[in-house]
Chain A
Amino acid sequence: MSTQVQLEIFEGPLDLLLHLIKKNEVSITDIPIATITKQYLATLELMQGLNLDVAGEYLIMAATLMYIKSRMLLPPEEGDEEDEEEGDPREELVRRLLEYQRFKEAAGDLEKREILSRDVFVRPSAAQAEVGTVTFEGLSIFDLISALQRVLELLPEEEFHAVTLEKISVRDKMNLLLDHLYRKGQVVFQSLFEGATSRLEVVVTFLALLELVKIRAVRAWQEERLGPILIEASAPLEEVSERIKNEEVEGEGNGA
């Protein structure tokens, strides 16, 4: 049997096993464990060779397979222990494979449905047209925070270097953000953090954004449920500057 394996994107060890079972045209309920184990390990090696991250789950499954293989090699015990756990050592694995396969099919069925905003569309909500009233349309603070998390994840690793403290207060950042928004109109949340080099800078920008939302100088919303978070200024500039002046800005003075 050739150990050359086609590299596909596997969703995990069970998925890889199902793939090998299908490729070998064998039955899930009667897996030739030696052959499949060999190919399974070869695939892992290939994945590692390609610098793909082989997650721990794959290795646990490799151990399981080898354990089953060794148990299959043992001569079946005679008579006395018949009714004790002397089933097919593959049984539990087979059960898991069958169960996973069912959900794989179910997932395929879901994908074939008429999916909203892919196959079928509804009218976009009219809420976008209204200005200044509601600020967090359909967005919770958690939505914003998880969006922030993604921004932070994208930051390059912070390297150690001499630090020059850039003193940017939240209030300064608010004004910078507003300038940006008046120039650009509507922007995507993530774009506000472009060019940010440190977590601190990202955090200050985020706090400034929250302040702006709080004083209703900007609105944050999503056009579609799964869409990007959009930000735009929601009041005339003079009015907003006035509000900023009068607002107690939290974190004022803590330069970043």
Chain B
Amino acid sequence: MSLVAQTVAGSIVSGAIYGLVGTGFALLFRASKVLSFAQGGFMLLGAFLFYSLEEHHHQPFLLAVLSTVVVVAALSGLVYVIVFARVAAREAFATSVATIGLVGVLQAGVSIKYGTAPLTLPDVVSAHAYRILGAVVTTADFVTVAMAAVAVGVLLAMLRFSPLGLRMTAVADNVSLSVHLGVSAVRVATAAWVLAGATAALAGIAFSLQSAVDPIGVANVGLLAFPAIILGGLDSVGGALLGGLLLAGLQNTVQATIGSGWVDVISFALMLAFLFFRPSGLFGKAAAVRL
């Protein structure tokens, strides 16, 4: 019984991290049809910036989270404006490929400054653990899930109720018509990169709270989250979180029953199955057109 409870609890925590990475992917895809491989890179940057603020500058937890999110979000927006705005105007595919180069640059930058060995965060949250329905849940687990819930909730509210959200939805629907009607596609894409940077930073912090500040592991989560994004639907922010939870549930179940060697195989097989049979994912929007 406690194995089941622990698997469920673990899935919610891992799913929250996948969800944070995935929401950034979904925002960028909606705004510019760009599949950004750079999310893992910004996650890495967030993890190390947070580590530095805690280890070297001893900032209070909330202030460190806020500073990390603001810096990574601003950097992500800046990279878009300086590097990608011109490429994106021509070709979403070219931008997607160019983001692979950006991950390399971010990874190299971090390893020059911090080395390649995993680092351990100081005790930034209470080490206290709680027993809930037979599962052991740590304070870091609560913090991770809360960060994902708040971030996704704020983003969904923004998309649904704010003028920026309406512009983002319009650009996702028809970019050339949006521009013709006076919407600046570059401003909308910049906002998407800023918000995606913020969610990547939160994902990096959450991952570091759960394991270590590990340059390889953190950047890999950016890739391992792909099945979650395909599962949820590439253009659905809420779907990214639900896809993350479903993927984590599947992975933890496979690990507990068949063995950890099968986790990646089954995850990516599921992704391929979705790409073949339901490319819009569980929650992605299939265009509503009356024939």
A and B physically associate: no
Chain A residues packing against B (C-beta within 8 Å): none
